[in-house]
Amino acid sequence: MTTLLILLPLAAALVIWVLPLNDISAGALALLAALVEVGLWIQLVVRYDFAQGGLQFSQQQSWFSDLHVSYHVGVYGFSVWLVGLTVVAMAAAIAYGFWVGRDRVRAYMGLMLFLTGAVVGVFTAQDLLLFYAFFEAMMIPLYVLVGVWGGPGRMGATLKFVLYTMAGSLLMLASIIVYGLSQNTFDLTEIGQSSSDWVFLGFVAAFAIKAPLFPLHGWLPDAYRESSPEVAAILSGVVSKAAAYGFLRIAIAKFPDPVQHYRVPILALAAIGLIYGSLLAFRAPDIRGVIAYSSLAQMGLITMGLFAVNDLGFDGAVLQMVNHGLVSTTLFLLAGMVERRTLTGELSRLGGMARGRPALATVLMTTGVIALAVPLSSAFAGEFLILAAVFRQGWGWSVVGAVAIVLAAAYILRLISALLHREVGPAVSDSALDLRPAELGVVVPLVACLLALSAWPAAITEHSFRHDRGQTDVTQGFK
C-alpha cells in the first residue's frame, strides 16, 4: 500500500516521459494519476487503524545489509495526514498546470509526478538513508521546475535555492553517517536515541533551511516569486512540511537531550521568524511576497509548537502543518489566477476585483478568513493549541505568538482589501473574467478540505499519535 503510493506517481512519470503522447493526453494522464493517488490515499485513511496507532502498512526489504540499510516504509497517524496533504495539493497543482497549459507538457507533468512520489517517500520512509534519498530526490524535479518554467529571475532563484538547501542536506548526510554507523543500524524504528549535539545540529541545519527558519530564509522570497504559481504552492505548502516532519520524526524523537539544550535558541529563532515574517508580509509590495513571508511566519509557529515538546504542541503543529499547507497552496494558486488576468502581482496596481467577480471574491475571502485564524476556523484551532503548548514553556512565548496572530490578521486583511476592495486598480481591466469553472474545480476542493477541518479539527488532533499522547509517543522515539 505504502509502496504503491510511492511508486504509482513515479511509474506514471516514466510512462509520460517515455510514450510520445500529445499535450492533452499527457496532461490528462498526469491528472488521472494524481487523482488515483488521492483515491489510494483515501483507501489508506479508511484502512489505517487509528485506535491502535503506531507504524502500519510497513514494508521492509534489505537494500545493503553490510551497513544495515533497508528499504523500509510505513505510515504513522500523523504521516497519514501529511501524505494526504501532499497528494491533494499535488493533484490541485497538476490540474492547474494542465489547465494553464505549460510548455513542454510531458517533461513538466512527469516532473510534477516524480515530485509527488518523492515527497510521499519522505513522509513514509522508515530508514534514515532512504529518508535522505527521498529528501534529496525532491530537489531533482524542483530544481528544473523552478529553473525552466519560472519567471525572468529564475536562474538566480534556483541557484540560491539549491545551494542553500543542499548545504543543509549535506550536513544532514554527515550526521546520518555518524549516527547510523555509531548505532549500527539506519532503521528509524530500531535506532536508539542519541545525545550527540553535533549530530543533532546537522539534522537541524537541514530542516531549518528547508522550512525555512529565520535567519536561513535567504532563498525563500526569490524562489516563491520566480517559480510558476503551482510550483510555489507546492514549495510552500508541501515541501516545507517535509522539514517540519523531519523535526518531528528525527530531530525531536531521536535526540531528547540535545533538544533540551537547544530548545530555547530554536524557539527564539522560530519566534523571531514568526514576528519578522509577519512584519515583512505586511510590508510586501506584491501578492506572492505576502504569501511567501506569511509562510516563513507560519513555519516559525509550527516549529514553536514542535519544540514545546508536549501533547498540545505536537497535535497543534500537525494540524497547523496541514492547515498551512492547504491555505498556502490555495493562496498561491489564487495568486496565479489573479496574475493571469492582470499580468502583475503588485498590490498598488490591483484593486476592486470583487466587483462583478463573486466567485473569486468568495473563494479568496474564505481562504483568507481561515488563514487569519478567526475563531471556529481550523487555523484557529491549530494556533490555539500551539500557543497553549508554548505557554507551558514560558508565558513570553505565547505573547509573541498572540502578537503574531494579530499581525496575521493585519496582513491578510491588507491583501484582501488590496485585491478585492478599494477602487479598481490600473492593471485590472473590466474584461478580466471571474474564476472559470476549471479554476473553481481546482481551488474549491482545497477550500472544502479547509472547511471540513474547521468543522472537525479533531480529525487530525485526535488521530495523529498513539492514544492521543503525542509527548510519550515522540519522546520515546516512536518505539
Partner 1 sequence: MIHGPHIDWFALAAVNSLLAASALSLLSAVLVPGRWRRPVAASLCALGYATALGFAVALYVKSPHGHGVVVDAFRRDRLTELTGIIIAGSGLLATALSYRERMREHHGEYYALLAAAGGGMLFFVGANNLMTLFLGLEWFSICLYILCAIDRDRLGGLEAALKYLVIGGFGSAVLLFGSALVYGATGRLDFAAIGAAGNAHDSLLVLGLALIIAGLAFKASAAPFHMWTPDVYEGAPTPVTAFMAAATKTAALVVTLRLLVTAFPGDARLWTVALAAIAVCSLVVGNLAALVQKGVKRMLAYSSISHAGFMLIAVSANSNLGARALLYYLVPYAAMSLGSFAVVAARERELGVPVTFENMAGFGWERPLLGVSMWAFLLGFAGFPLTGGFVGKFYAFAAAYEHGWTWLVIVGVLATLVSLYYYLGLVRAMFMRRAEDLQLAPIGGSPPRDALLQAAVVTCLVVTVGSFFAVQPMIDLARHAANSLSF
Q: Which residues bind partner 1 (CB under 8 A)?
A: 62-67, 104, 129, 132-134, 136-137, 139-140, 143-144, 147-148, 154-155, 158-159, 162-163, 166-167, 170-171, 173-174, 177-178, 181
Interatomic CA distance for residues 384 and 145, integer angstroms: 36
Question: In the bound complex, what is the minimum distance in angstroms from residue 184's beta carbon to partner 1?
Answer: 11
Question: In the bound complex, what is the minimum distance in angstroms from residue 26's beta carbon to partner 1?
Answer: 14
DSSP letter for each residue of 423-475: SPPTT--TT-----HHHHHHHHHHHHHHHHHHH-THHHHTSSSGGG-HHHHHH
> Based on CB atoms, which residue is closest to partner 1, 65 or 431?
65
Interatomic CA distance for residues 369 and 378, integer angstroms: 10
Residue pair 61/70 in contact by the 8 Å Cβ criterion: yes
> Based on CB atoms, which residue is closest to partner 1, 144 or 359?
144
Question: In the bound complex, what is the minimum distance in angstroms from residue 130's beta carbon to partner 1?
Answer: 9
> Based on CB atoms, which residue is closest to partner 1, 24 or 140?
140
Q: Which helix (H) or strand (E) holds 64?
A: strand 56-64
Torsion over CA: 304, 309, 315, 318 (sign): positive
> Based on CB atoms, which residue is closest to partner 1, 103 or 423?
103
Residue pair 273/217 in contact by the 8 Å Cβ criterion: yes
Question: In the bound complex, what is the minimum distance in angstroms from residue 109's beta carbon to partner 1?
Answer: 15
Question: In the bound complex, what is the minimum distance in angstroms from residue 405's beta carbon to partner 1?
Answer: 38
> Based on CB atoms, which residue is closest to partner 1, 180 or 345?
180
> Based on CB atoms, which residue is closest to partner 1, 160 or 263?
160
Question: In the bound complex, what is the minimum distance in angstroms from residue 279's beta carbon to partner 1?
Answer: 32
Question: In the bound complex, what is the minimum distance in angstroms from residue 325's beta carbon to partner 1?
Answer: 24
Question: In the bound complex, what is the minimum distance in angstroms from residue 172's beta carbon to partner 1?
Answer: 9
- Cα atoms in the 13 Å half-sphere on the side-chain side of 395: 0
Q: Which helix (H) or strand (E) holds 70?
A: strand 69-75
DSSP letter for each residue of 283-330: H-SBHHHHHHHHHHHHHHHHHHHHHT-SHHHHHHHHHHHHHHHHHHHH
Question: In the bound complex, what is the minimum distance in angstroms from residue 473's beta carbon to partner 1?
Answer: 29
* Helix pair angle (23-47, 2-18), 10° resolution: 180
> Based on CB atoms, which residue is closest to partner 1, 137 or 287?
137
Closest of 184, 209, 205, 206 to residue 194, by C-alpha: 184
> Based on CB atoms, which residue is closest to partner 1, 178 or 403?
178
> Based on CB atoms, which residue is closest to partner 1, 50 or 63?
63
Interatomic CA distance for residues 145 and 134, integer angstroms: 17
Interatomic CA distance for residues 253 and 193, integer angstroms: 8
* The residue to which cell 490541485 is assigned: 92
